[in-house]
Amino acid sequence: MTAATTGVPAEGTATELPRLLPVSGQHQEDWRAHLARHGRLPYRDAPGRLIADVRQAGLTGRGGAAFPVHRKLSAVLDAASERRRSPVVIANGAESEPASDKDATLLWLAPHLVLDGLQLAAEATGADQAILYTHAQRREDVGTRLRQVLAERAAAGSDRVPVELAESPARFLSGQETALINHLGGGPAIPAFMPPRITERGLRGAPTLVQNVETLAHLALVARHGPRWFRQVGTKTEPGSMLCTIRRADGSPRIAEVPMGIPLRDVLGPVSHDGAVLIGGYHGTWAPAEAAVQLTLDNQALSAVGARVGAGVLITLPADRCGLAETARTVRYLALESAGQCGPCLNGLPRIAAALAELAGPRPRRQARADVERWSGLVTGRGACHHPDGTARFVRSALITFAAELDRHARGRCGATNSRPFLPIPGGSARTEEDWL
Amino acid sequence: MNEKLTVNPIECEGHGACAELLPELITLDEWGYPIIDDRPVPPFLERDARAAISACPTLALRLLRA
């Protein structure tokens, strides 16, 4: 569990934050506390009725892709009626991005809000099956806690669709939608290439809705308070709030619920003038801290530095660390997390990782940098999933942001005084197929 | 025909037959995997495109409506 949980106060906004997380910080919301704060589930008593509210709210997926939620809901509802097959709804809490902890924190502190959202999404699509997919191994007690929570709901008679708990393997790609469907269907959690859209044919052929757990929590509140309330925070084009995992250079990670469009300066705190910030996690973008603090936390603004909000990971690199060394170590991890299915990813990522390790060392060959640049271009857009693309984006942004450090290394120097790893990397890469199950 | 070539990267094992039969639209990267020009296949290359598709040992190459 990430240490401090805070809502950054949203001064001057009509609605107070946090909306999703408990106001009291670390305190877990049980069924009674949840009911006292949010009230009962506002079922609409027919499929489809919630979708217009979700569309007007402008709610987008909070798992990283920011896809409009109403479009997925409609697609699943339509596929279900066309094919006369009941859909499945899946809450995706795999959160396999190692630097992110917001979904686990939300599930720990406010699980009922997520499960309310799952029930309402089931009703909106006419689903008769619901699954909560989490990375339980990450925290041993999460499974136990969620079973208690489901028992509380059963006792209260709140749920209309039974919820099954499913566990994701500890792989970076486990939360990728097609990997998740493969895994829940009994196979390894590896991506598929252009399957029929899972909203049409997903789990065991059923129309399937997959939504990030935070997205479902927002959905549960949109259903209660309506689209206008939802839009009281955030920007016009990117409304609402979002959970972020913030890792500042000087302290432990924090989870904050912030309005979309909040100045990054307010989130990141003090940064050094030649520092760097990682926006969006390990498929994200390094940016110079000086440029980052001029921006706001929304995709429109972040596009100025080629970044996206993603799943809300914001990391300030400590001034005493080497950005190249951190990037090289992370890319080695990403290369090991390739499912190894596609030639360009299987061949390219380990080579990129090795060349980056060389660049992070003293006096790399001149060719190493050109190799990294060429291979990053070569792997992009050539995988079944976006793993090579995301990795290449991360790598290219490092070459730009750490250009001065590259020059220092070329002269046999390094700007860092601390070689202790900073970015969190899970131990234990996959060795056999078992590790993907 | 308004179709474009696409490769299923999971099926593709880098045999390279496609690049031999259709060098105008398919080249191989340094590991032997095809890099495909995904613009619509021009009429004068349709026959070669179909030959490349048939020659793929893993049936990874396909034409999709552009």
Q: What is the pLDDT of residues A276-320, one digit of tens each?
A: 999 999 999 999 999 999 999 999 999 999 999 999 999 999 999
- Among residues A107, A104, A110, which one has the least CA distance to residue A24? A110
User: Which residue in this structure is represented by tokens 């793929």?
Assistant: B56
CATH code, A343: 1.20.1440.230
Banded pLDDT at A7 (limits 50, 70, 90): very low
Please report the DSSP string for A366-431 in residue order.
HHHHHHHHHHHHHHTT-SSSSHHHHHHHHHHHHHHHTHHHHHHHHTT--S-S--S--S---S----
Q: Which residue has the higher pLDDT, B7 or A251?
A: B7
- In this structure, are A100 and A154 located in the same domain? yes
CATH code, A286: 3.10.20.600
Cβ neighbours around A199 below 10 Å, total:
23
Q: Quote the radius of gyration of chain B (alpha carbons, Å).
A: 11
List all residues 6 or more positions away from A225 whose beta carbon is below 8 Å from its beta carbon.
Answer: none
Last residue of a domain, one of A186, A202, A230: A230
Which long-range contacts link A424-430 to residues 24+ away (Cβ below 8 Å)? A424/A98, A424/A99, A425/A98, A425/A329, A425/A330, A425/A333, A426/A98, A426/A170, A426/A333, A428/A170, A429/A333, A429/A336, A429/A337, A430/A171, A430/A336, A430/A337
- In the prediction, which pLDDT does A375 show? 98
- In the prediction, which pLDDT does A249 show? 86
- Among residues A375, A10, A339, which one has the least CA distance to residue A183? A339
Contacts of A382 in chain B (CB under 8 A): 9, 33, 35
- Altogether, the residues listed in chain A come to a count of 437
- Among residues B48, B52, B51, which one has the least CA distance to residue B15? B52
- Among residues A211, A177, A189, which one has the least CA distance to residue A90? A211
Q: Which residues span the domain enclosing B44?
A: 3-65
- In this structure, are A178 and A283 located in the same domain? no
**CB-based contact A192 B29, cutoff 8 Å:** no
Answer whether residue A268 is part of any domain.
Answer: yes
- In the prediction, which pLDDT does A252 show? 78
Last residue of a domain, one of A183, A203, A230: A230
- Give backbone dihedrals phi and psi of B46, rounded to 5 degrees, phi first: -55, -45
Q: Report the number of secondary-structure helices (H) and strands (E) in chain B.
A: 2, 4
pLDDT in tens, A240-287: 999 999 999 877 799 999 999 999 999 998 888 889 999 999 999 999
User: Whole-angstrom Cα distance, residue B19 to residue B11?
Assistant: 16
Q: Before A162, cis peptide (omega within 30)?
A: no
Percentage of residues in chain B with pLDDT exceeding 70?
98
- Number of domains making up chain B: 1
- Number of domains making up chain A: 3
Answer whether residue A120 is part of any domain.
Answer: yes
- In this structure, are A9 and A78 located in the same domain? yes
Residue of chain B with shortest Cα separation from A348: B31
**CB-based contact A341 B29, cutoff 8 Å:** no
- In the prediction, which pLDDT does A137 show? 66
Q: Is B11 on the interface with A (CB under 8 A)?
A: yes
**CB-based contact A378 B29, cutoff 8 Å:** yes
CATH code, B55: 3.30.70.20
How high does pLDDT run on average in chain A?
93
* Option in A342, A348, A378 nearest B10 (CB): A342
Last residue of a domain, one of A230, A258, A276: A230
Answer whether residue A432 is part of any domain.
Answer: no
Q: Give me the interface pTM, i.e. the ipTM.
A: 0.96
- In this structure, are A305 and A365 located in the same domain? no
**CB-based contact A347 B33, cutoff 8 Å:** yes
Provide the b/e sequence for A82-103 (b: ≥16 CB within 10 Å). Answer: eeeeebbbbbbbbbbbbbbbbb
Mean pLDDT across A220-241: 97
Cβ neighbours around A366 below 10 Å, total:
9
- In this structure, are A400 and A352 located in the same domain? yes
- In the prediction, which pLDDT does A4 show? 42
Q: Which residue has the higher pLDDT, B66 or A113?
A: A113
- In this structure, are A75 and A145 located in the same domain? yes
- In the prediction, which pLDDT does A8 show? 47
- In this structure, are A380 and A416 located in the same domain? yes
Q: Report the number of secondary-structure helices (H) and strands (E) in chain A.
A: 16, 10
Answer whether residue A266 is part of any domain.
Answer: yes
Mean pLDDT across A24-53: 92
pTM, 2 dp: 0.95
- In this structure, are A258 and A205 located in the same domain? no
- In this structure, are A272 and A297 located in the same domain? yes
Answer whether residue A307 is part of any domain.
Answer: yes
- In the prediction, which pLDDT does A11 show? 43
- In the prediction, which pLDDT does A12 show? 41
- In the prediction, which pLDDT does A139 show? 67
- In this structure, are A15 and A140 located in the same domain? yes
Percentage of residues in chain A with pLDDT exceeding 70?
95
* Option in A193, A347, A378 nearest B8 (CB): A193
Alpha-carbon torsion (A76, A78, A80, A82), positive or negative: negative
- In the prediction, which pLDDT does B33 show? 98
pLDDT in tens, A151-200: 999 999 999 999 999 999 999 999 999 999 999 999 999 999 977 899 99
Three-state secondary-structure class, residue A223 = helix
List all residues 6 or more positions away from A71 whose beta carbon is below 8 Å from its beta carbon.
Answer: none
User: Whole-angstrom Cα distance, residue A331 to residue A181?
Assistant: 26
CATH code, A42: 3.40.50.11540
Percentage of residues in chain B with pLDDT exceeding 90?
92
User: Whole-angstrom Cα distance, residue A269 to residue A264?
Assistant: 8
User: Whole-angstrom Cα distance, residue A229 to residue A57?
Assistant: 8
Contacts of B29 in chain A (CB under 8 A): 344, 378
Strand A254-259 to A241-247 pairing: antiparallel
* Option in A194, A344, A384 nearest B33 (CB): A344
Question: Å from B45 to nearest chain A CA?
Answer: 23
- In this structure, are A245 and A224 located in the same domain? no
Q: Which residues span the domain enclosing A415?
A: 325-421
- In this structure, are A136 and A195 located in the same domain? yes
